[in-house]
Amino acid sequence: MEISWFGAAIAFVAGMVVAFIWYQKGPIANAWERLTGVTPERSRPARTRNMTQLAIANLVTAVGLAAGISIVSEATGDDSAGLALLVGSAAWLTLSATTLLQHNAFELKPAKLTIINAGYQLAMFLAMSLVIGLL
């Protein structure tokens, strides 16, 4: 197995860009803010910690996707971007979406919040996978 470290690094950047775009002021961010009660003012004291955690999580996700895509690519002989997107979709569905759904259900969070956060995770997984598949 050969991990594309360059692909993982660029995928990390892509994941950070998705987060920045997804949660910028607009309909999605406004709905998220209403549902969570987390405002920019309220989150300011924890911003450095939160951004550090986001960066670490995105780095681990990028490397994990690069490894998973490499394994599947080697096993199938297919190194296409389409296969990378398929692996990213499967990883999102089996690891991210199901975990988020379970936690939000038990924490009695609104379904709309689950949809917003799962949508972000899907966009991030697909962006990262596409980058890895193209490089």
The pLDDT, as a whole number, for residue 64 is: 97
The pLDDT, as a whole number, for residue 39 is: 81
User: How far is it between the farthest Cα atoms of the chain?
Assistant: 50
The pLDDT, as a whole number, for residue 101 is: 95
Contact between 114 and 104 under an 8 Å Cβ cutoff? The reply is: yes
Structure tokens at 120: 């972000």
The pLDDT, as a whole number, for residue 129 is: 97
Binning pLDDT at 50, 70 and 90, where does residue 21 land?
Answer: very high
| Residue 87, C-beta contacts closer than 8 angstroms, at least 6 positions apart | 65, 68, 69, 72, 129
Q: What burial letters (b/e) apply to 63-80, b meaning 16+ CB within 10 Å? A: bebbbbbbebbeeeeeee
CA quadruple 3, 66, 72, 84: dihedral positive or negative? negative
Between the two ends of the chain, the Cα-to-Cα distance in Å is 16
pLDDT digits (tens, 9 = 90+) for 31-81: 999 999 888 888 788 888 989 999 999 999 999 999 999 999 999 999 999
pLDDT digits (tens, 9 = 90+) for 100-117: 999 999 999 999 999 999
Average pLDDT of the residues in 82-109: 96
Q: How far apart are CA 60 and CA 128, in angstroms?
A: 12
pTM: 0.90
pLDDT > 80? residue 1: no
